[in-house]
Structure 1
Amino acid sequence: MSLFRQAIRHLIESVKTAKSDQKRLVYRFQGAPNIDSIDWADAQSLYPKFYWQSRDAHQETMALGQLAVFSGPIDVDLLAEDQRVWGGSPFNKPYVSDCIPTPHFFVLPLIELIREGKQWSIAVNLNQHRQDILDQLKKIVTELPLIPPLSINVSKLTHCPDRADWCELVNRVLAGIDSQAFKKVVLARKTTLKMNGIASAAQLLKSSRANNYNSFHFMFSMDESCSFVGSSPERLFVKHQQNLSTEALAGTVGRGESASKDMALANWLCMDAKNRHENCHVVDDIVERLIPYASPIDTDSEAHLIKLRKVQHLKRNIYAHLKPNTSAVELLHALKPTAAVAGLPRKDAMTFIQKYESFNRGWYAGSLGFIGRHQAEFCVTIRSALVKANEIELFTGAGIVSGSVATDEWDELDKKMSTLLSLLDDSHELEAVS
């Protein structure tokens, strides 16, 4: 009998004998099961599906089903010690999509496959409807086919806005900055890829996880028709008890073709006044938003370099001690959208984006993560894609500040987009899609 089939059988028997007030059962594997969590999820028919891997790759969770749904405040005191509610919210609160049809969506899943370091476990959350839970557990597939590598190609690529409209929009922002209407606006681009076959969110996620390091990897699927996936380098916040860590990730340059060129680009980024100025804007904005909720608040004195597969970023860490009873939901409302994905001042930048951007960002530049009794963590959902049948929508953004050049910012979008596009079709290099 496989380790996984044994685990499911154990959970089924444990559910049958669990006490009426028991909220969660956990089975810990002795040794690593011979499965991949993404393969496991792709084989299941239970929705919604939520995948999360922490940026340091130490924690990984694949959550299936929903025992409870939360669209408002979450009372973490009602959760068991190690229960987590998974979900997030889109960039703009009123947004509702066919894929995730509520402005905020958090679920207590039915079942979770969990890895912490090398320790694997599988857990089931409980309510009073035990027979329903047993019925769902019996449907779990235990003999798993491996997901084949990506084998589809891009047949058509369309940008919204196109290059000409982008340049016009950037110049409109720069005029607003000159007139002191705002300091910064983050503009986004949606790139629609028509594929020559059915696109698999699981395939894209698995390929991205294997290639894009120093990133949060995530997937959220309400049903088989649509999935939101991504590999984000940016943390919104992590909360442990009353300790908070967040960051300003702003300022970007590409990677060099050789070690010497890469170092030259890194040195340029660290010294470039425009990028350093942009990073400082984000730091100041986050600190200002945290003041009602935390004291003291400390920041790195200097930005340091983060190297990813396709780009390099400037990053400064921010640490804070939270005031008593500050909840993760309050922090979500306070911090998002940050200046790194919206602009400054936030209200004025958001007004501009809603008026002039020609598409709805949806869950791009929103937040995804988890809330537990004592811990919560969320990433900013950049470097992301919406996967639907034979169509994939890729999302990227660039911060426009004084000194920005429209064509340079367009090139930056291409570099960021290559995080996922390069996994889909090697023939579409950055010059070809510009």
Structure 2
Amino acid sequence: MTELIQAIGRLCDALSTLSALPPRLSVDLTLSDHVDPIEWLDAQPLFPKFYWQSRDGAEETVALGQVRTFSNPYSAELVLEDGQRIWGGRSFDGRTERNQRCLQSFFFLPQIELSRVGETWYLSLNTGDDIGKARAALNKLSDSTSTLARPQCDILDAEHSPSYPQWSSMLEKALAEIDSTDLQKVVLARKTSLTLDRHISAAQLLKASREQNSANFHFLLALDEKHSFVGSTPERLFNRQGQTLLTEALAGTIGRGKTAQDDKALAQWLLNDPKNIYENRLVVEDIESRLLPNSIALTVEGSPHLVQLRKVQHLKRNIEAELHNDVSSSDLLDMLQPTAAIAGLPRDNAVKFITENEPFARGWYSGAVGFLGRERSEFCVAIRSALVMNDTLHLFAGAGIVPGSEPETEWKELDRKMSTLMSLLSPVLDPLPFEKKRSMLPMSNAIDMEQKAG
């Protein structure tokens, strides 16, 4: 940790010698391969905490402490200085009548950032207008970390919300509304709450996921010691560089095969399945309709291509736009969230159906997480995610419901998506008794266990 200690010292020296305090101070450093930013974040006493790694792995940031917080992205954008990033996101249903406890939006200008661009590391300080507070933040940084092992725990209990019978009824109701109203698609979700025999940290889960789930955005948002939202998502909401926008339609899913031959057959089926192609097209058309009035030019990939992840495969079409000069990143959040890929179409109808029928509040799940910057902003869609609360782990997943959707097939899709994070949990010693474990698992996994046991 010598490099970090020296960088902290250089920032402290700069605070003491500068006659005029700039809004941001930054020094570069060489960070040893033995220093894991996630482990460093876990050891720090400053909150909020935020971790971000871009999908291509080219950027990584730990953001700590707060100079200022913001309840909406519009006010956050107004105070940005060159080089600064404001981190946070927007929930799916916070500050609504249904979910008063969750914030609608939370953004913060951090006191400290440890960031990597390519192979170069930087330690930065957003100074604010209080030198004493800035110096105190630097002095609080810890230079000691401990290795975070893969989460090891026994699952004592699991509760699905909705249960499978409730899921079947909810899906049938959605199909009836699609058949008889303007609703074209609705994305229905499940929360699976796991009671564990011991505390696991969000940082543990994130580190294990980063190692196993490549080609994803990785994020962690912790407002305090007791609640952390963490995820590894394949889906970008948008990347905005100047007035150039990159976004995508990621919709249509199948699992991975057990052999290369099976995998290829599943991929070909997905690429040619009318239901999944239709679901992807709906997302494309929704994004087009929102961007066209705000764009000089808009280009959509002609046909879906395949994205293969560790547990699932998706259909994806890339979309690029040249925006009008008056379109801000805050405007884009309003335009694009929630997308048809995580809510449905038409948006208002789908959100209304979700609010009236899903038995839990989504909170940060299926919201947007990322950063605002003057020249560049980027947000991912907060799927493949979990809420970590001491010895309880809440996992979330959703499935797009369109004509032809079947309850059992979509339930299995939820299982596959949740396995992105659930499969990272290792039993401590002996597995739970067969009947106990079977009663806790998602339906499709329990059936598999029964077949293997038989």
* Equivalence map 1:68-79=2 (5 Å): 68-72=68-72, 73-74=74-75, 76=77, 78-79=79-80
Q: Is residue 80 from structure 1 mapped to residue 93 from structure 2 by the alignment?
A: no
Name the residue aligned to 1:46.
Answer: 46
Cα shift readout 1:238-286 (whole Å, capped 9, x = no counterpart) = 0000000100000000000000000000000000000000000000001
After the TM superposition, which residues 35-434 of structure 1 pair with which residues of structure 2 at under 5 Å, given as runs?
Answer: 35-72=35-72, 73-74=74-75, 76=77, 78-95=79-96, 101-425=102-426, 431-432=444-445
Report the alpha carbon displacement of residue 195 of structure 1 after superposing the two structures with TM: 0.4
Q: Secondary structure at the match of 1:360?
A: coil
**Equivalent pair of 1:278/1:401 in contact (CA under 8 Å):** yes
Distance change >3 Å, CA 160–CA 68, structure 1 → 2: same
**What's the offset of the Cα at 1:391?**
0.1
Counterpart amino acid of 1:265?
A: L
Shift of 1:424: 1.1
Q: 1 CA distance for matches of 2:222 and 2:79?
A: 26
Query: Quick check: 1:99–1:221 contact (8 Å CA) kept in 2?
Result: no
> Cα 1:213–1:398, aligned 2, differ >3 Å: closer, same or farther?
same
When residues 86 and 31 of structure 1 are mapped into structure 2, their CA distance, relative to the original with a 3 A threshold, is closer
Q: Report the CA distance shift for 1:193/1:329 in structure 2 as closer, same or farther (over 3 A).
A: same
Asked if structure 1 preserves the Cα contact closer than 8 Å seen for 2:233 and 2:385, the reply is yes
Amino acid paired to 1:432: N
Tell me whether 9-18 or 76-85 shows the greater mean CA deviation.
76-85
- The corresponding residue for 2:5 is 5
Q: Secondary structure at the match of 1:74?
A: helix
Deviates further, 285-294 or 219-228: 285-294
- SS across alignment from 1:291: helix
| Equivalent residues of 1:32, 1:119 under 8 A apart | no
Tell me the CA shift for residue 148 of structure 1: 2.7
Distance 1:351 1:17 in 2: 57
Alpha carbons 2:150, 2:426 under 8 Å: kept: no
Asked whether the 8 Å contact 2:215–2:234 carries over to 1, the reply is yes
The secondary structure found in structure 1 opposite 2:290 is: helix
How far is the alpha carbon of 1:156 from its aligned partner?
1.1
Q: 2:450 maps to what in 1?
A: none
| Distance in 1 (alpha carbons) for counterparts of 2:384 and 2:81 | 33
Q: Relative to structure 1, is the Cα distance of residues 292 and 106 closer, same or farther in structure 2, using a 3 angstrom cutoff?
A: same
SS in 1 for 2:320: strand
**What is the SS of the residue equivalent to 2:327?**
coil
SS at match of 2:351: helix
Aligned CA RMSD, in angstroms, stands at 1.9
Structure 1 residue runs without a partner (length 5+): none
Number of aligned residue pairs: 434
Amino acid at match of 2:272: M
Residues 19 and 370 (structure 1 numbering): CA distance in 2 closer, same or farther, change over 3 Å? farther
Structure 1 counterpart of 2:38, one-letter code: I
Q: Residue 107 of structure 2 aligns to a residue in which SS?
A: strand
SS in 2 for 1:175: helix
Superposed CA deviations along residues 47-81 of structure 1, whole A, max 9, x for unmatched, are 00010100001100000000011223136464232
Deviation of the 1:32 alpha carbon: 3.9
Q: Identity across aligned pairs (percent)?
A: 46
3-state SS, counterpart of residue 209 of structure 1: helix
Report the 3-state secondary structure (helix = DSSP H, G, I; strand = E; otherwise coil) of the residue aligned with 1:141.
coil
Larger CA deviation: 76-85 vs 222-231: 76-85
Q: Secondary structure at the match of 1:55?
A: coil
- Residues 99 and 361 in structure 2, CA contact (< 8 A), matched pair in contact too: no
Distance 1:69 1:25 in 2: 19
Residue pair 1:32, 1:118 contacting (<8 A) in 2 also: no
1:319 and 1:123 mapped to 2: Cα distance? 32
TM (norm. structure 2) is 0.92
Greater mean alpha carbon deviation, residues 193-202 or residues 72-81: 72-81
Q: CA deviation at 1:143?
A: 2.4
| TM-score when normalising by structure 1 | 0.96
Following superposition, the deviation at residue 33 of structure 1 comes to 6.1
**82-91 or 290-299: which moved more?**
290-299
Structure 2 stretches lacking a partner, 5+ long: 432-436, 448-454
> d(CA) in 1 for partners of 2:97 and 2:416?
29
**Distance in 1 between the 2:245 and 2:128 partners?**
32
Determine the C-alpha separation between the residues in 2 that align with 1:281 and 1:176: 17
Counterpart Cα distance in 2 of 1:196 and 1:259:
37
Give the Cα–Cα distance (whole angstroms) in 2 for the partners of residues 274 and 250 of structure 1. 11
Taking the aligned partners of 1:30 and 1:315, their CA distance within structure 2 comes to 37
| Pairwise CA distance, 1:93 | 4.6
Structure-2 separation of matches of 1:109 and 1:99: 25
